[in-house]
Chain A
């Protein structure tokens, strides 16, 4: 849940050439599965067929069926779509205010900055998952508090990186020169600030999505997140767990899917430096 760990880790250098390309390919593949999967596999992920309970992989059901005889392929495709979608929305809801507030703090300084810093400190004083759990306590199993809680913790990272970087950029002499030559704020922002912060924001974006995917599946797995009928990857794992002895692969598939999603995002984020 802490984006900051991954970023500080990314600063270390190590060799894994081409890993960024590998991550991108992985994400493309998984993205296609999440987007197109539910369309070309028209099976309802909630349709039950007790005759096919725990059907093996490769038979009538391409990836087998769960204990209620629900198509695992359909459930995984819908689960991937849910994870991707929720992670993407959470990231947007964290990145947009985070970056804008960071810019505002660096640009305006003074009272605005002090107020925003106080707000960031307050959020940082709590572990993120706890904030999410507190919100969930009041409406378990709903998307709203889950989404809100995650965005509320993740925006701080975007805010802090944007503020710190923008401040150093604005303090440089060439900005002063540009100002004195009469260029407006919009010009300075577009030509000097954005090119510097954009790559950092892109990295944070991927990490934030990875964090959100892990958080959503974890919370569902410990039964405070989304509730079972929803094809959520974490709850699919936990639902199938009692049948591990009969169908071990059924349990491993959703776990593998989460792993690949997070791996892809992390590789794309810091690629060669992973």
Chain B
């Protein structure tokens, strides 16, 4: 357990350093004038840009040595101060708090929905390998894996909200509005977890203890519940760990697509406006979110099968 924590904390530290250093490095080789871009982001492209840019440069101290600016950022990070957004002027931490909350909700809902779809299909497929359920599941998984998430999102938007009018296409606040982006993410996740579940269930179904439970006359549902699910869940959960990448990346794409006010949307916005402190801050938070999801999944695997902990 202690090793586990130390490893994860180290990973979090690496993420923070890499993001900070990378942004710093890139800022040095930055083509064009940052002050100009920021001024354009703040006042719109029509304002008298050159004057506005000079004001911005002076106000933000962009003319000081870059190393000094980097050290300041690092020092601020230790005090949990990520600086101020160059565009809105608000503290980055304040903006991130709101957005992180929204993103966590989205990611959690997506994970939940995908768990209602993927493993269920996987169980039905795995109990009768080669059957109709298995083959349909396979085709479905192959198809959904080949559709890029943004295309899937657009298709769901067109079908579920434009054609059928069931769900609002964008917005934020009510559970109905989180459903469409969450479903987009969930279908991609489910396509992958369904096959892993199917293989795990097929493997468990071949074991002697499973056959024995069937032979002694237990109803199929109880056999699956008592002897199948927990054993089959282990590979599925550890596989979901790999999906942390998919989830964090998916959040960026899906949030931008549905104008959902989360971390990913903020990152894309900050990039377009070249709001460097915001880019650094959001990238940092997304990296840490990635580490957190991976850690959570590891902890669940450990709980499902304590043998992992002892072996390590």
Contacts and interface: CB of A to CB of B under 8 A. Distances in A.
Given A12-B196, A122-B18, A127-B290, A4 B11 contact: no
Contact of A266 (B15, B146, B272, B290): B146
A223 interface: yes
Interface string B210-250: 00000000000000000000000000000100111110110
Interface in B241-271: 242-246, 248-249, 252-253, 256-257, 267-268, 270-271
A222 B244 CA distance: 21
A170 interface: no
Contacts of B36: none
B192 A5 contact: yes
Contacts of B130: 15
B146 A125 contact: no
B242 A8 contact: yes
B192 A9 contact: yes
A151 B134 CA distance: 36
Number of contact residues on A: which range applies?
Answer: 35 or more
B18 A263 contact: no
Number of contact residues on B: which range applies?
Answer: 35 or more
A258 B154 CA distance: 14
A134 B280 CA distance: 8
A82 B287 CA distance: 30
Contacts of B27: 138
Max chain B CB contacts within 10 Å: which of A138, A140, A217? A138
A15 B19 contact: no
Q: Is the interface of A mostly helix, strand, loop or mixed?
A: helix
Contacts of A126: 15, 18-19, 287, 290
A140 B198 CA distance: 42
B142 interface: yes
Given A140-B271, A274-B138, A125 B22 contact: no
Nearest to B274: A137
B246 A2 contact: yes
B162 interface: yes
B249 A127 contact: yes
B150 A222 contact: yes
A237 B267 CA distance: 22
Q: Which 8 A-B pairs have the closest CB atoms?
A: A12-B199, A263-B146, A222-B256, A129-B249, A137-B271, A262-B146, A138-B26, A2-B245
